[in-house]
């Protein structure tokens, strides 16, 4: 398990014993708001109130490359792409940045998405597809007007992110599965009518 804290550190914990593994990872100058393991478990990404994103070697605890700069406000969320070649960071500056570099993620970003007030969360399951969760609770596919599913406000912050096995929160978690999801004109396939 990896955790970030208001003591400016990132810590790794043994999931079976609860014991801390190694020393805390130091480098951020402010609270650590978000952390995530890469899919293969070899790297950790962290985002902080200091407006930076940092990448760590999960085995040695060493920072990989320089901090990623670019956000104008604190970093609220971070994640690795499923293939581990990109890092996504979201910020209170209302932007989402996708950083890419095969060597050490030296801050080059592929995509800068300015979020409008009606959208505050991107939910990604596949490398090239995403959904957005709007402030009114509707999940939508990109470039489409139909709503897919409504999420009650109390569950917005608990949405399960697909790159993690489990999100531990003081409020629990919410997991959405779109494996058998049909929408649009095909939604009728979800129900059976009795005659």
**pLDDT tens-digit profile of 29-64?**
999 999 999 989 999 999 999 999 999 999 999 999
The whole-number pLDDT of residue 105 equals 46
Domain ranges of the chain: 1-115, 127-195
Is 3.90.1300.10 the CATH number for 1-115?
no
Backbone torsions φ then ψ of 190, nearest 5 degrees: -80, -15
End-to-end CA distance of the chain: 52
pLDDT above 90 coverage of the chain, percent? 30
SS3 label, residue 139: strand
pLDDT tens, position by position, 70-109: 888 999 888 888 888 888 888 888 777 878 754 444 444 4
Please report the pLDDT score of residue 154 as a whole number: 65
């Amino acid at each position: 398990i990896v955790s970030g804290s208001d003591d400016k550190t990132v810590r790794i914990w043994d999931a079976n014993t609860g014991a801390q593994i190694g020393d805390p990872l130091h480098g951020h100058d402010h609270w650590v708001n978000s952390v995530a393991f890469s899919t293969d478990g070899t790297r950790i990404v962290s985002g902080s109130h200091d407006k930076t994103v940092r990448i760590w070697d999960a085995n040695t605890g060493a920072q990989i490359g320089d901090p990623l700069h670019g956000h104008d406000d604190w970093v609220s969320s971070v994640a690795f792409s499923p293939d581990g070649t990109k890092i996504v960071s979201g910020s209170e500056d209302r932007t989402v940045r996708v950083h890419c570099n095969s060597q050490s993620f030296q801050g080059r970003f592929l995509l800068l998405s300015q979020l409008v007030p009606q959208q505050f969360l991107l939910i990604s399951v596949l490398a090239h597809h995403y959904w957005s969760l709007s402030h009114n609770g509707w999940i939508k596919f990109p470039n489409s007007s139909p709503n897919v599913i409504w999420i009650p406000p109390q569950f917005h912050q608990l949405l399960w992110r697909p790159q993690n096995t489990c999100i531990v929160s003081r409020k629990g978690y919410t997991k959405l599965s779109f494996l058998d999801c049909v929408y649009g004109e095909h939604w009728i396939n979800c129900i059976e009518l009795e005659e």
